[in-house]
Amino acid sequence: MGRSELVLNSTIVTDMSDISIDATKSPDATRGNTGSARDFFELLKPRVMSLVIFTGLVGIAVAPGTIHPVIGFAALLCIAVGAGASGALNMWYDADIDARMARTTTRPIPQGRVNAGEALGFGATLSVASVVAMGLFVNYTAAALLAITIGFYIFVYTMWLKRSTPQNIVIGGAAGAFPPMIGWAAVTGSVSLESIVLFLIIFMWTPPHFWALALYRRGDYEEVNVPMLPVVAGKRETRKQILIYTLLLVPVTLAPVALAFAGAIYGGAALLLGAIFLTLAGQVWLTGEAGDEDKSDARAKRLFGFSIFYLFLLFALLLVEQVAGLFVPVL
């Protein structure tokens, strides 16, 4: 073999080695690979799904009448799968902006652990399966509400509102408010004023919850041109809207007492928790008005954290009053 052939072969080997090394470092190179079970589980947004399951459980527990434990479990499973499917489809559609936001860059699709086609197929399959199973094993009303929830979250919020209007969270929040109504319908086969009130509690809670997040994460949304309220209207207007929606939320949380499906324990806690929520929202507003943006953002972060605890505790108390026999009528 001549010297020129040795040089040529060495160059080819070196180049192939470089390509191999680069391929292992590139996220795009793994897009053809099937992700692990953990990656697909992450697509379901398990933290969000856990709150959805819990509020659905409360809807089942406080609804009048009884439900067979197996059917109740089936209803909860369908709610969970439907919520997870919505999360997977949301990650599929938002993969482009997830790759550019600090909060979401570690998700499976931007990291290349699951490709977009797999996420779409996974989410679509689970969506259909959850609705069909709900209709077959529970009832058609609950199945219809679950279908509306999934469709609203994907087509109305994710594909339309999120990137087109600062009211995305206000309107889109309806998708996250349906689970207790679905749970109620699983027991009763119908929609009632009480289940609508459970819906409204989450619906009114959603704007101050997410706008608090958007205040201290404004840069992320600005970077990807998502018109969250702080990006479009500014921080001052967002702080004002958080306070307004919190003022509207607190009376709504007392409606279960007025309708006599929540008792004294829930009512007292709702007043106390509402006062704390209002205080924190007021602090976000006042520190912003004082010109201390850093402190206001820190207060917004604290409000965001408390808002999760607030919603969980309200629904937990509704559950405890019913399950533990602690219901004491107020009216």
Q: pLDDT of 150-182, one tens digit each?
A: 999 999 999 999 999 999 999 988 999 999 999
120 and 205 within one domain:
no
- Whole-model pTM: value is 0.87
- The answer as to whether 21 is a domain residue is no
CATH number at residue 95: 1.10.357.140
237 and 151 within one domain:
no
Instruction: Tell me the angle at which helices 179-188 and 140-151 cross, rounded to the nearest 10 degrees.
Output: 170
Total domains, the chain = 2
Q: What is the pLDDT of residue 33?
A: 56
137 and 46 within one domain:
yes
- The answer as to whether 166 is a domain residue is yes
210 and 178 within one domain:
no
244 and 178 within one domain:
no
- The answer as to whether 81 is a domain residue is yes
Q: What is the pLDDT of residue 19?
A: 36
Residue after which a domain boundary falls, among 172, 191, 210: 191
Select from 241, 303, 239 the least CA-distant residue to 273: 303
119 and 69 within one domain:
yes
- CA dist 271 and 254 (Å) reads 8
- The answer as to whether 20 is a domain residue is no
270 and 176 within one domain:
no
Scanning the structure block, which residue is given the tokens 């009211």?
167
183 and 41 within one domain:
yes
- The answer as to whether 222 is a domain residue is yes
- The answer as to whether 3 is a domain residue is no
Scanning the structure block, which residue is given the tokens 């709900």?
134
**Residue stretches of the chain with pLDDT short of 50:** 1-31
Calculate the alpha carbon distances from 199 to 176, 191, 194, 328 in Å. 9, 11, 9, 23
148 and 122 within one domain:
yes
198 and 266 within one domain:
yes
SS3 of 69-96: the string is: HHHHHHHHHHHHHHHHHHHHHHHHHCHH
Domain of residue 310 covers: 192-331
Per DSSP, 113 falls in state: S
59 and 168 within one domain:
yes
Q: What is the pLDDT of residue 291?
A: 86
- CA dist 6 and 8 (Å) reads 5
179 and 199 within one domain:
no
- The answer as to whether 2 is a domain residue is no
Calculate the alpha carbon distances from 252 to 51, 197, 270 in Å. 20, 7, 10
- The residue type of 260 is A
Please answer whether residues 198 and 58 qualify as being in contact, where contact means their C-beta atoms are separated by less than 8 angstroms. Answer: yes
Residue after which a domain boundary falls, among 191, 219, 250: 191
Residue after which a domain boundary falls, among 191, 215, 246: 191
Q: What is the pLDDT of residue 234?
A: 93
Question: Could you tell me the two tokens for 34?
Answer: 């099937």
- The answer as to whether 17 is a domain residue is no
